[in-house]
Chains A and B, each alone.
Chain A
Amino acid sequence: MKDNHSKTAFILVTVFTAVASILFSFRKSENMKELSYIFYSYPPVPGHYVSKDSLELEKLLKNTERRITASLRRLENLLPYGPYLIINTTQNKFVLRNRKGVIREGICSTGSYVLLDAGDGKQWMFKTPKGMFPILGKIVDPIWNKPDWAFVEESLPIPPRNHPDRLEYGTLGDYALTLGDGYLIHGTLYQRFLGLPVTHGCVRLGDQDLEVVFKNLNVGSRVYIF
Protein backbone atom coordinates (compact mmCIF):
# COMPACT_ATOMS: atom_id res chain seq x y z
CA MET A 1 0.00 0.00 0.00
CA LYS A 2 2.01 2.85 -1.31
CA ASP A 3 -0.12 5.88 -0.60
CA ASN A 4 -3.28 6.85 1.25
CA HIS A 5 -5.42 6.99 -1.90
CA SER A 6 -4.45 3.51 -2.87
CA LYS A 7 -5.12 2.27 0.67
CA THR A 8 -8.58 3.89 0.81
CA ALA A 9 -9.49 2.44 -2.59
CA PHE A 10 -8.36 -1.01 -1.47
CA ILE A 11 -10.43 -0.79 1.73
CA LEU A 12 -13.47 0.38 -0.23
CA VAL A 13 -13.19 -2.46 -2.76
CA THR A 14 -12.70 -5.04 0.01
CA VAL A 15 -15.64 -3.76 2.06
CA PHE A 16 -17.86 -3.45 -1.01
CA THR A 17 -17.08 -7.02 -2.08
CA ALA A 18 -17.69 -8.31 1.47
CA VAL A 19 -21.06 -6.52 1.62
CA ALA A 20 -21.93 -7.92 -1.81
CA SER A 21 -21.04 -11.44 -0.57
CA ILE A 22 -23.28 -10.97 2.49
CA LEU A 23 -26.16 -9.71 0.36
CA PHE A 24 -25.73 -12.59 -2.07
CA SER A 25 -25.70 -15.00 0.89
CA PHE A 26 -28.92 -13.41 2.16
CA ARG A 27 -30.54 -14.07 -1.18
CA LYS A 28 -29.40 -17.67 -0.89
CA SER A 29 -30.54 -18.03 2.74
CA GLU A 30 -32.63 -21.07 1.94
CA ASN A 31 -29.56 -22.93 0.64
CA MET A 32 -27.58 -21.84 3.72
CA LYS A 33 -30.28 -23.22 6.00
CA GLU A 34 -30.31 -26.50 4.10
CA LEU A 35 -26.55 -26.75 4.51
CA SER A 36 -26.75 -25.86 8.20
CA TYR A 37 -28.91 -28.89 8.94
CA ILE A 38 -25.73 -30.98 8.65
CA PHE A 39 -24.83 -29.72 12.13
CA TYR A 40 -28.15 -30.54 13.79
CA SER A 41 -30.19 -33.56 14.72
CA TYR A 42 -33.21 -34.42 16.87
CA PRO A 43 -33.48 -36.91 19.73
CA PRO A 44 -34.90 -40.07 18.16
CA VAL A 45 -37.65 -41.13 20.61
CA PRO A 46 -39.67 -38.90 22.92
CA GLY A 47 -39.68 -39.87 26.57
CA HIS A 48 -43.41 -40.45 27.00
CA TYR A 49 -43.23 -43.29 24.50
CA VAL A 50 -40.13 -44.94 25.92
CA SER A 51 -41.44 -44.94 29.47
CA LYS A 52 -44.32 -47.23 28.40
CA ASP A 53 -43.68 -50.96 28.52
CA SER A 54 -44.63 -53.33 25.71
CA LEU A 55 -47.95 -54.26 27.30
CA GLU A 56 -49.00 -50.63 27.58
CA LEU A 57 -47.95 -50.03 23.99
CA GLU A 58 -49.93 -53.08 22.82
CA LYS A 59 -52.98 -51.73 24.65
CA LEU A 60 -52.44 -48.30 23.12
CA LEU A 61 -52.17 -49.87 19.69
CA LYS A 62 -55.33 -51.90 20.18
CA ASN A 63 -57.31 -48.84 21.24
CA THR A 64 -55.95 -46.84 18.33
CA GLU A 65 -56.89 -49.62 15.89
CA ARG A 66 -60.42 -49.64 17.31
CA ARG A 67 -60.75 -45.90 16.83
CA ILE A 68 -59.35 -46.18 13.28
CA THR A 69 -61.98 -48.80 12.39
CA ALA A 70 -64.70 -46.55 13.79
CA SER A 71 -63.41 -43.52 11.85
CA LEU A 72 -63.15 -45.54 8.64
CA ARG A 73 -66.73 -46.71 9.09
CA ARG A 74 -67.89 -43.14 9.65
CA LEU A 75 -66.05 -42.01 6.51
CA GLU A 76 -67.55 -44.86 4.50
CA ASN A 77 -71.01 -43.84 5.64
CA LEU A 78 -70.46 -40.43 4.10
CA LEU A 79 -70.45 -42.00 0.62
CA PRO A 80 -73.84 -41.78 -1.09
CA TYR A 81 -75.79 -45.06 -1.08
CA GLY A 82 -77.01 -44.68 -4.64
CA PRO A 83 -75.18 -43.62 -7.82
CA TYR A 84 -73.59 -40.17 -7.85
CA LEU A 85 -72.00 -37.97 -10.47
CA ILE A 86 -68.59 -36.25 -10.28
CA ILE A 87 -67.80 -33.45 -12.72
CA ASN A 88 -64.31 -32.08 -13.31
CA THR A 89 -64.78 -28.58 -14.73
CA THR A 90 -61.08 -28.12 -15.51
CA GLN A 91 -60.68 -31.24 -17.62
CA ASN A 92 -64.35 -31.29 -18.68
CA LYS A 93 -64.80 -34.91 -17.70
CA PHE A 94 -67.46 -36.74 -15.73
CA VAL A 95 -67.59 -39.96 -13.75
CA LEU A 96 -70.85 -41.64 -12.80
CA ARG A 97 -70.21 -44.02 -9.95
CA ASN A 98 -71.62 -45.85 -7.01
CA ARG A 99 -70.03 -47.48 -3.96
CA LYS A 100 -68.93 -50.47 -6.04
CA GLY A 101 -67.12 -48.47 -8.70
CA VAL A 102 -67.42 -46.57 -11.97
CA ILE A 103 -70.67 -46.93 -13.94
CA ARG A 104 -69.70 -44.62 -16.79
CA GLU A 105 -67.13 -41.96 -17.50
CA GLY A 106 -66.54 -39.61 -20.37
CA ILE A 107 -66.26 -36.03 -21.52
CA CYS A 108 -68.65 -33.17 -20.91
CA SER A 109 -68.70 -29.41 -21.34
CA THR A 110 -68.82 -26.96 -18.49
CA GLY A 111 -68.74 -23.18 -17.96
CA SER A 112 -66.46 -21.15 -20.19
CA TYR A 113 -65.52 -18.54 -17.58
CA VAL A 114 -66.45 -15.91 -20.16
CA LEU A 115 -67.49 -12.62 -18.64
CA LEU A 116 -70.02 -11.16 -21.07
CA ASP A 117 -70.01 -7.40 -20.85
CA ALA A 118 -73.08 -5.75 -22.34
CA GLY A 119 -72.16 -2.28 -21.09
CA ASP A 120 -74.24 -0.15 -18.70
CA GLY A 121 -73.00 -2.33 -15.84
CA LYS A 122 -74.72 -5.43 -17.28
CA GLN A 123 -72.43 -8.42 -16.96
CA TRP A 124 -72.83 -12.19 -16.88
CA MET A 125 -70.21 -14.69 -15.75
CA PHE A 126 -70.55 -18.10 -17.38
CA LYS A 127 -69.14 -20.47 -14.81
CA THR A 128 -70.29 -23.81 -13.45
CA PRO A 129 -70.76 -23.66 -9.69
CA LYS A 130 -68.56 -25.93 -7.57
CA GLY A 131 -69.67 -28.02 -4.63
CA MET A 132 -72.21 -30.72 -3.86
CA PHE A 133 -75.66 -30.40 -5.40
CA PRO A 134 -78.65 -32.71 -5.07
CA ILE A 135 -80.70 -33.38 -8.19
CA LEU A 136 -83.84 -31.31 -7.78
CA GLY A 137 -85.78 -32.49 -10.80
CA LYS A 138 -85.73 -34.70 -13.89
CA ILE A 139 -87.17 -33.53 -17.20
CA VAL A 140 -87.79 -35.47 -20.42
CA ASP A 141 -87.68 -33.42 -23.65
CA PRO A 142 -86.72 -30.21 -21.85
CA ILE A 143 -87.56 -26.82 -23.31
CA TRP A 144 -85.02 -24.06 -22.91
CA ASN A 145 -86.43 -20.88 -21.43
CA LYS A 146 -83.79 -18.51 -22.78
CA PRO A 147 -82.43 -16.02 -20.27
CA ASP A 148 -81.52 -12.39 -21.12
CA TRP A 149 -77.86 -13.13 -21.87
CA ALA A 150 -78.82 -15.52 -24.67
CA PHE A 151 -80.37 -12.56 -26.54
CA VAL A 152 -77.49 -10.23 -25.68
CA GLU A 153 -75.05 -12.81 -27.07
CA GLU A 154 -76.99 -12.93 -30.32
CA SER A 155 -77.45 -9.17 -30.37
CA LEU A 156 -81.22 -9.57 -30.43
CA PRO A 157 -83.81 -7.51 -28.54
CA ILE A 158 -84.65 -8.98 -25.14
CA PRO A 159 -88.31 -10.10 -25.02
CA PRO A 160 -90.39 -9.73 -21.85
CA ARG A 161 -90.52 -12.54 -19.29
CA ASN A 162 -92.71 -15.55 -20.29
CA HIS A 163 -92.72 -14.38 -23.91
CA PRO A 164 -92.94 -17.32 -26.34
CA ASP A 165 -89.75 -16.08 -28.11
CA ARG A 166 -87.84 -17.21 -25.04
CA LEU A 167 -88.78 -20.86 -25.51
CA GLU A 168 -86.49 -23.05 -27.57
CA TYR A 169 -87.21 -26.71 -28.33
CA GLY A 170 -84.61 -29.46 -28.82
CA THR A 171 -81.54 -27.42 -27.81
CA LEU A 172 -81.13 -29.17 -24.45
CA GLY A 173 -81.28 -32.73 -25.84
CA ASP A 174 -83.60 -35.51 -24.69
CA TYR A 175 -83.20 -35.11 -20.94
CA ALA A 176 -82.29 -32.57 -18.30
CA LEU A 177 -81.49 -32.81 -14.61
CA THR A 178 -81.97 -29.66 -12.56
CA LEU A 179 -79.42 -28.56 -9.98
CA GLY A 180 -81.08 -25.32 -8.87
CA ASP A 181 -80.47 -21.63 -9.66
CA GLY A 182 -81.10 -22.33 -13.35
CA TYR A 183 -78.21 -24.79 -13.67
CA LEU A 184 -78.94 -28.00 -15.57
CA ILE A 185 -77.22 -31.14 -16.76
CA HIS A 186 -78.49 -31.55 -20.31
CA GLY A 187 -77.68 -32.64 -23.83
CA THR A 188 -76.35 -30.54 -26.67
CA LEU A 189 -76.55 -29.86 -30.37
CA TYR A 190 -72.84 -28.95 -30.31
CA GLN A 191 -71.37 -32.43 -29.85
CA ARG A 192 -68.05 -31.25 -31.36
CA PHE A 193 -67.49 -28.95 -28.38
CA LEU A 194 -67.77 -31.74 -25.80
CA GLY A 195 -64.63 -31.82 -23.68
CA LEU A 196 -64.23 -28.04 -23.94
CA PRO A 197 -65.27 -25.32 -21.49
CA VAL A 198 -67.91 -23.65 -23.67
CA THR A 199 -71.17 -23.56 -21.73
CA HIS A 200 -72.92 -20.75 -19.90
CA GLY A 201 -72.68 -22.64 -16.61
CA CYS A 202 -74.75 -25.74 -17.29
CA VAL A 203 -73.16 -29.16 -17.79
CA ARG A 204 -73.56 -30.60 -21.29
CA LEU A 205 -73.26 -34.33 -21.92
CA GLY A 206 -73.23 -36.41 -25.08
CA ASP A 207 -76.55 -38.09 -25.97
CA GLN A 208 -75.69 -41.62 -24.81
CA ASP A 209 -73.89 -40.46 -21.68
CA LEU A 210 -76.86 -38.27 -20.80
CA GLU A 211 -79.25 -41.19 -21.13
CA VAL A 212 -77.16 -43.36 -18.75
CA VAL A 213 -76.79 -40.50 -16.26
CA PHE A 214 -80.49 -39.68 -16.43
CA LYS A 215 -81.52 -43.30 -15.86
CA ASN A 216 -79.13 -43.83 -12.95
CA LEU A 217 -79.64 -40.63 -11.01
CA ASN A 218 -82.83 -39.89 -9.13
CA VAL A 219 -84.19 -36.77 -7.50
CA GLY A 220 -81.98 -36.28 -4.43
CA SER A 221 -78.95 -38.05 -5.97
CA ARG A 222 -75.75 -36.12 -5.46
CA VAL A 223 -73.69 -34.30 -8.04
CA TYR A 224 -70.20 -33.24 -7.03
CA ILE A 225 -68.69 -30.49 -9.15
CA PHE A 226 -65.07 -29.41 -8.79
Chain B
Amino acid sequence: MKNNLTMLFSKIKGSFTTKGVVIFVSVQLMAIIAAFILFGIIPVGNEVSKITKQFNPEGVSENKLPQEKVALLERVRDREHYESVLKSALLLSKTDSISLLIDLKDSLAILSLKGVSLFQSKISEIEFNQGLKKLPVYLRDSLYSGPFPVKKELASIEKFPVVIKKAPKDTTEASADDAAPILPIQNDVFVLFLLDNNLVIEINQQEHDLAGSKRAYRNFKANYSRFFRDHNFALIKDKNAPSYLYRLKIFIPREEARSIYRALPIKPYVLVRY
Protein backbone atom coordinates (compact mmCIF):
# COMPACT_ATOMS: atom_id res chain seq x y z
CA MET B 1 0.00 0.00 0.00
CA LYS B 2 2.78 2.36 1.07
CA ASN B 3 4.78 1.39 -2.02
CA ASN B 4 1.82 2.05 -4.31
CA LEU B 5 1.30 5.48 -2.79
CA THR B 6 4.98 6.34 -3.13
CA MET B 7 4.87 5.23 -6.76
CA LEU B 8 1.76 7.28 -7.46
CA PHE B 9 3.28 10.28 -5.71
CA SER B 10 6.47 10.01 -7.75
CA LYS B 11 4.38 9.77 -10.95
CA ILE B 12 2.31 12.89 -10.28
CA LYS B 13 5.24 14.76 -8.80
CA GLY B 14 5.74 16.46 -12.15
CA SER B 15 2.21 17.90 -11.97
CA PHE B 16 2.90 20.00 -8.89
CA THR B 17 2.99 23.16 -10.89
CA THR B 18 0.76 26.21 -10.39
CA LYS B 19 -1.29 25.12 -13.41
CA GLY B 20 -1.67 21.59 -12.04
CA VAL B 21 -2.82 22.82 -8.62
CA VAL B 22 -5.30 25.26 -10.21
CA ILE B 23 -6.74 22.48 -12.40
CA PHE B 24 -7.01 20.11 -9.44
CA VAL B 25 -8.73 22.65 -7.17
CA SER B 26 -11.07 23.79 -9.98
CA VAL B 27 -12.16 20.23 -10.72
CA GLN B 28 -12.83 19.57 -7.02
CA LEU B 29 -14.81 22.78 -6.69
CA MET B 30 -16.84 21.93 -9.78
CA ALA B 31 -17.54 18.48 -8.39
CA ILE B 32 -18.73 19.95 -5.08
CA ILE B 33 -20.91 22.55 -6.82
CA ALA B 34 -22.38 19.88 -9.13
CA ALA B 35 -23.12 17.68 -6.10
CA PHE B 36 -24.70 20.61 -4.27
CA ILE B 37 -26.95 21.33 -7.26
CA LEU B 38 -27.75 17.67 -7.81
CA PHE B 39 -28.35 16.60 -4.21
CA GLY B 40 -29.42 19.91 -2.68
CA ILE B 41 -30.82 22.56 -4.98
CA ILE B 42 -32.75 20.29 -7.39
CA PRO B 43 -34.67 18.16 -4.85
CA VAL B 44 -35.50 21.20 -2.71
CA GLY B 45 -36.51 23.20 -5.79
CA ASN B 46 -38.79 20.36 -6.92
CA GLU B 47 -40.43 20.18 -3.51
CA VAL B 48 -41.00 23.93 -3.29
CA SER B 49 -42.49 24.14 -6.79
CA LYS B 50 -44.65 21.06 -6.16
CA ILE B 51 -46.11 22.55 -3.00
CA THR B 52 -46.53 25.99 -4.53
CA LYS B 53 -48.42 24.51 -7.48
CA GLN B 54 -50.50 22.27 -5.27
CA PHE B 55 -51.82 25.15 -3.19
CA ASN B 56 -51.89 27.58 -6.07
CA PRO B 57 -51.35 30.63 -3.88
CA GLU B 58 -51.69 33.96 -5.52
CA GLY B 59 -48.61 35.26 -3.83
CA VAL B 60 -49.91 38.11 -1.76
CA SER B 61 -47.56 39.42 0.84
CA GLU B 62 -48.93 39.85 4.35
CA ASN B 63 -47.12 43.18 4.48
CA LYS B 64 -49.53 44.59 1.91
CA LEU B 65 -52.55 43.69 4.01
CA PRO B 66 -53.91 45.78 6.89
CA GLN B 67 -52.64 44.66 10.28
CA GLU B 68 -56.15 43.79 11.49
CA LYS B 69 -56.75 41.47 8.55
CA VAL B 70 -53.41 39.74 9.06
CA ALA B 71 -54.33 39.09 12.70
CA LEU B 72 -57.75 37.80 11.64
CA LEU B 73 -56.19 35.53 9.03
CA GLU B 74 -53.83 34.13 11.65
CA ARG B 75 -56.75 33.42 13.96
CA VAL B 76 -58.78 31.73 11.22
CA ARG B 77 -55.83 29.52 10.29
CA ASP B 78 -55.16 28.65 13.91
CA ARG B 79 -58.78 27.71 14.62
CA GLU B 80 -59.17 25.77 11.36
CA HIS B 81 -56.08 23.77 12.23
CA TYR B 82 -57.38 23.12 15.77
CA GLU B 83 -60.67 21.98 14.30
CA SER B 84 -58.95 19.54 11.97
CA VAL B 85 -56.89 18.18 14.90
CA LEU B 86 -60.09 17.64 16.90
CA LYS B 87 -61.77 15.97 13.93
CA SER B 88 -58.80 13.64 13.57
CA ALA B 89 -58.88 12.87 17.30
CA LEU B 90 -62.57 11.97 16.98
CA LEU B 91 -61.80 9.81 13.98
CA LEU B 92 -59.07 7.99 15.89
CA SER B 93 -61.35 7.50 18.89
CA LYS B 94 -63.41 5.14 16.75
CA THR B 95 -60.45 2.75 16.34
CA ASP B 96 -59.15 0.23 18.86
CA SER B 97 -55.57 1.45 18.57
CA ILE B 98 -53.53 3.72 20.77
CA SER B 99 -52.46 6.86 18.88
CA LEU B 100 -49.98 9.64 19.49
CA LEU B 101 -50.75 13.34 19.53
CA ILE B 102 -47.79 15.70 19.49
CA ASP B 103 -49.03 19.03 20.74
CA LEU B 104 -46.36 21.56 19.83
CA LYS B 105 -48.47 24.41 21.19
CA ASP B 106 -48.50 23.05 24.76
CA SER B 107 -45.26 21.03 24.31
CA LEU B 108 -46.89 17.70 25.10
CA ALA B 109 -46.73 14.20 23.66
CA ILE B 110 -50.03 12.50 24.45
CA LEU B 111 -51.09 8.88 24.09
CA SER B 112 -54.79 8.38 23.65
CA LEU B 113 -57.15 5.50 23.22
CA LYS B 114 -60.82 5.88 22.33
CA GLY B 115 -60.68 9.58 23.08
CA VAL B 116 -59.20 9.08 26.56
CA SER B 117 -55.81 10.58 27.27
CA LEU B 118 -53.72 7.78 28.77
CA PHE B 119 -50.34 9.38 29.20
CA GLN B 120 -48.72 12.77 28.79
CA SER B 121 -45.08 13.65 28.50
CA LYS B 122 -43.68 17.16 28.60
CA ILE B 123 -41.55 17.94 25.55
CA SER B 124 -38.37 19.68 26.65
CA GLU B 125 -37.09 20.64 23.20
CA ILE B 126 -38.49 20.83 19.67
CA GLU B 127 -36.40 20.99 16.49
CA PHE B 128 -37.57 21.51 12.92
CA ASN B 129 -35.51 21.13 9.79
CA GLN B 130 -35.22 24.04 7.37
CA GLY B 131 -38.04 22.85 5.11
CA LEU B 132 -40.46 22.68 8.00
CA LYS B 133 -39.24 25.97 9.44
CA LYS B 134 -39.80 27.75 6.13
CA LEU B 135 -43.16 26.16 5.41
CA PRO B 136 -45.85 28.82 5.95
CA VAL B 137 -48.44 28.06 8.61
CA TYR B 138 -51.26 27.58 6.08
CA LEU B 139 -49.27 24.83 4.35
CA ARG B 140 -48.46 22.95 7.53
CA ASP B 141 -51.94 21.49 7.77
CA SER B 142 -51.04 19.16 4.93
CA LEU B 143 -48.22 17.76 7.07
CA TYR B 144 -49.83 17.97 10.50
CA SER B 145 -53.43 17.51 11.67
CA GLY B 146 -53.70 14.09 10.10
CA PRO B 147 -54.27 11.50 11.32
CA PHE B 148 -51.36 10.06 9.39
CA PRO B 149 -50.25 6.44 9.59
CA VAL B 150 -46.62 5.58 10.17
CA LYS B 151 -45.14 4.12 6.99
CA LYS B 152 -41.77 3.13 8.38
CA GLU B 153 -40.19 3.19 11.81
CA LEU B 154 -36.77 2.85 13.39
CA ALA B 155 -36.06 2.49 17.08
CA SER B 156 -33.15 1.84 19.36
CA ILE B 157 -35.33 -0.39 21.57
CA GLU B 158 -37.49 -3.40 20.82
CA LYS B 159 -41.23 -3.01 20.65
CA PHE B 160 -41.67 -6.17 22.70
CA PRO B 161 -38.79 -6.85 25.13
CA VAL B 162 -39.16 -10.61 24.98
CA VAL B 163 -36.94 -12.72 27.23
CA ILE B 164 -36.79 -16.40 26.33
CA LYS B 165 -36.68 -18.78 29.27
CA LYS B 166 -36.32 -22.53 29.11
CA ALA B 167 -38.59 -24.47 31.43
CA PRO B 168 -36.62 -25.74 34.47
CA LYS B 169 -35.58 -29.38 34.36
CA ASP B 170 -36.25 -30.06 38.05
CA THR B 171 -37.63 -28.45 41.20
CA THR B 172 -34.16 -27.28 42.38
CA GLU B 173 -33.65 -25.33 39.18
CA ALA B 174 -37.21 -24.00 39.44
CA SER B 175 -36.70 -22.66 42.97
CA ALA B 176 -33.46 -20.95 41.88
CA ASP B 177 -35.42 -19.22 39.10
CA ASP B 178 -37.92 -17.92 41.65
CA ALA B 179 -35.31 -15.94 43.57
CA ALA B 180 -34.57 -13.30 40.95
CA PRO B 181 -36.94 -12.17 38.24
CA ILE B 182 -35.56 -11.83 34.70
CA LEU B 183 -35.72 -8.18 33.70
CA PRO B 184 -35.30 -6.89 30.15
CA ILE B 185 -32.27 -4.74 29.25
CA GLN B 186 -33.15 -1.05 29.24
CA ASN B 187 -31.45 0.65 26.33
CA ASP B 188 -31.53 4.30 25.36
CA VAL B 189 -34.55 5.52 23.47
CA PHE B 190 -34.38 7.04 19.99
CA VAL B 191 -37.33 6.57 17.67
CA LEU B 192 -37.99 7.67 14.11
CA PHE B 193 -41.39 7.55 12.44
CA LEU B 194 -41.83 8.22 8.74
CA LEU B 195 -45.44 9.19 8.15
CA ASP B 196 -47.07 8.61 4.80
CA ASN B 197 -47.07 12.37 4.11
CA ASN B 198 -43.23 12.37 4.19
CA LEU B 199 -42.98 13.93 7.60
CA VAL B 200 -40.30 12.35 9.74
CA ILE B 201 -40.99 12.52 13.46
CA GLU B 202 -38.10 11.77 15.75
CA ILE B 203 -38.74 11.08 19.41
CA ASN B 204 -35.49 11.27 21.31
CA GLN B 205 -34.62 10.90 24.95
CA GLN B 206 -33.67 14.25 26.45
CA GLU B 207 -30.86 12.75 28.55
CA HIS B 208 -27.48 13.15 26.87
CA ASP B 209 -25.77 10.36 28.80
CA LEU B 210 -26.25 6.85 27.53
CA ALA B 211 -27.73 4.48 30.08
CA GLY B 212 -27.91 1.36 27.93
CA SER B 213 -25.51 -0.46 25.68
CA LYS B 214 -23.39 1.58 23.27
CA ARG B 215 -23.83 -1.16 20.69
CA ALA B 216 -27.61 -0.64 20.56
CA TYR B 217 -27.04 3.09 20.14
CA ARG B 218 -24.48 2.56 17.37
CA ASN B 219 -26.84 0.14 15.60
CA PHE B 220 -29.60 2.71 15.70
CA LYS B 221 -27.30 5.44 14.36
CA ALA B 222 -26.20 3.16 11.51
CA ASN B 223 -29.84 2.36 10.64
CA TYR B 224 -30.67 6.06 10.92
CA SER B 225 -27.99 7.00 8.37
CA ARG B 226 -29.06 4.13 6.12
CA PHE B 227 -32.66 5.34 6.25
CA PHE B 228 -31.75 8.74 4.78
CA ARG B 229 -29.26 7.20 2.34
CA ASP B 230 -31.94 4.81 1.05
CA HIS B 231 -34.30 7.74 0.66
CA ASN B 232 -31.71 9.56 -1.46
CA PHE B 233 -31.05 6.44 -3.55
CA ALA B 234 -34.79 6.10 -4.15
CA LEU B 235 -34.77 9.68 -5.36
CA ILE B 236 -32.22 8.81 -8.04
CA LYS B 237 -34.09 5.71 -9.16
CA ASP B 238 -37.66 7.00 -9.02
CA LYS B 239 -38.64 10.48 -10.16
CA ASN B 240 -41.94 10.25 -8.27
CA ALA B 241 -40.22 9.56 -4.98
CA PRO B 242 -40.60 12.38 -2.44
CA SER B 243 -37.72 14.77 -2.97
CA TYR B 244 -37.61 16.17 0.53
CA LEU B 245 -38.35 14.84 4.00
CA TYR B 246 -39.72 17.27 6.58
CA ARG B 247 -38.27 16.53 9.98
CA LEU B 248 -39.68 17.26 13.40
CA LYS B 249 -37.61 16.24 16.40
CA ILE B 250 -38.91 16.21 19.97
CA PHE B 251 -37.03 15.47 23.18
CA ILE B 252 -38.73 13.88 26.18
CA PRO B 253 -37.50 11.98 29.27
CA ARG B 254 -36.05 8.55 28.44
CA GLU B 255 -38.54 6.42 30.38
CA GLU B 256 -41.49 8.38 29.03
CA ALA B 257 -40.22 7.96 25.46
CA ARG B 258 -39.95 4.23 26.17
CA SER B 259 -43.55 4.14 27.44
CA ILE B 260 -44.79 5.96 24.36
CA TYR B 261 -42.95 3.77 21.87
CA ARG B 262 -43.95 0.52 23.54
CA ALA B 263 -47.57 1.59 23.97
CA LEU B 264 -48.04 2.38 20.30
CA PRO B 265 -49.05 -0.44 17.99
CA ILE B 266 -47.03 -1.31 14.90
CA LYS B 267 -47.76 1.37 12.26
CA PRO B 268 -49.60 3.70 14.62
CA TYR B 269 -51.41 6.92 13.77
CA VAL B 270 -49.81 10.24 14.66
CA LEU B 271 -51.36 13.67 14.93
CA VAL B 272 -49.46 16.93 15.25
CA ARG B 273 -50.86 20.19 16.57
CA TYR B 274 -48.79 23.33 16.05
Residues of A that sit less than 8 Å from B by CB: 1-3, 5-7, 9-10, 13-15, 17-19, 21-22, 25-30, 32-37, 39-47, 49-50, 54, 57-58, 60-61, 64-65, 67-68, 71-72, 74-75, 78-80, 84, 86, 88-91, 112-119, 125, 127, 130-132, 152-156, 193, 196-198, 222, 224, 226
Q: How far is the CA of A132 from the CA of B29 in the complex (A)?
A: 61
How many residue pairs link A and B with beta carbons under 8 A? The number is: 274
Residue of B79, B93, B245, B265 near A68 (CB, 8 A) is: B79
Contact yes or no, A34 B130, CB < 8 A = yes
Q: What is the distance, in angstroms, from A148's C-beta to the closest C-beta of chain B? A: 11
Query: Are the C-beta atoms of B259 and A88 separated by less than 8 Å?
Result: yes
Known contacts: A18-B27, A27-B229. The answer to whether A61 contacts B12 by CB under 8 A is no
**B58 nearest in chain A by CB position:** A47
Report yes or no: A155 in contact with B168, Cβ–Cβ below 8 A. Answer: yes
Contact with A along B119-134 (1 / 0, CB 8 A): 1000000000111011
A75→B87 CA distance, assembly (Å)? 9
Q: If the complex has contacts A30-B228, A44-B62, A61-B75, are A25 and B36 also in contact, measured as CB distance less than 8 A?
A: yes
Contact A22 B134 (CB under 8 A): no
- Do B72 and A18 touch (CB < 8 A)? no
Residues of A within 8 A of B244 (CB): 33
Is B61 in contact with A71, judged by CB distance below 8 angstroms?
no
Contacts of A117 in B (CB 8 A): 164-167
A39 to B52, CA, bound (A): 15
Whether the pair A71, B36 counts as a contact (CB closer than 8 A) is no
- Is B76 interfacial (CB 8 A cutoff)? yes
Q: Is B116 an interface residue (CB 8 A)?
A: yes
Given A37-B44, A197-B183, 18 more pairs with CB closer than 8 A: A1-B14, A5-B11, A14-B28, A21-B35, A33-B43, A35-B36, A36-B43, A49-B76, A61-B75, A68-B82, A71-B90, A78-B115, A114-B163, A114-B164, A118-B167, A132-B113, A155-B167, A155-B171
How far apart are A30's CB and chain B's nearest CB, in angstroms?
5
Known: A32-B40, A79-B116, A224-B113. A125 touches B162 (CB 8 A): yes
Quick check: A43 and B60 within 8 Å, CB to CB?
Answer: yes
Contact assessment for A68 and B86 in the assembled complex, using a CB-CB cutoff below 8 Å: yes
B-side interface size class: 35 or more
Interface residues of chain B, those whose CB is within 8 Å of chain A, are 8, 11-15, 17, 20, 23-24, 27-28, 30-32, 34-36, 39-41, 43-45, 48, 51-52, 55-62, 65, 68-69, 72-73, 75-77, 79-80, 82-83, 86-87, 89-90, 93, 96, 98, 111, 113-116, 118-119, 129-131, 133-136, 138-139, 160-171, 173-174, 177, 181-184, 225, 228-229, 232, 244-245, 255, 258-259, 262-263, 265
| Contact of A32 with B36 in the complex, beta carbons under 8 Å | yes
Contact for B111 among A22, A75, A226, CB less than 8 A: A226
**Residue contacts A-B, CB under 8 angstroms, 20 given:** A7-B15, A9-B15, A28-B39, A29-B228, A42-B134, A54-B68, A57-B72, A60-B76, A68-B83, A71-B86, A72-B86, A75-B90, A88-B119, A90-B262, A113-B161, A119-B166, A153-B177, A224-B116, A226-B118, A226-B119
A6 with B12: in contact, given A49-B138, A71-B90, A78-B115 (CB under 8 Å)?
A: yes
**How far does the Cβ of A56 sit from chain B's closest Cβ, in whole Å?**
10
Chain B residues with CB below 8 A from A193, complex form: 181
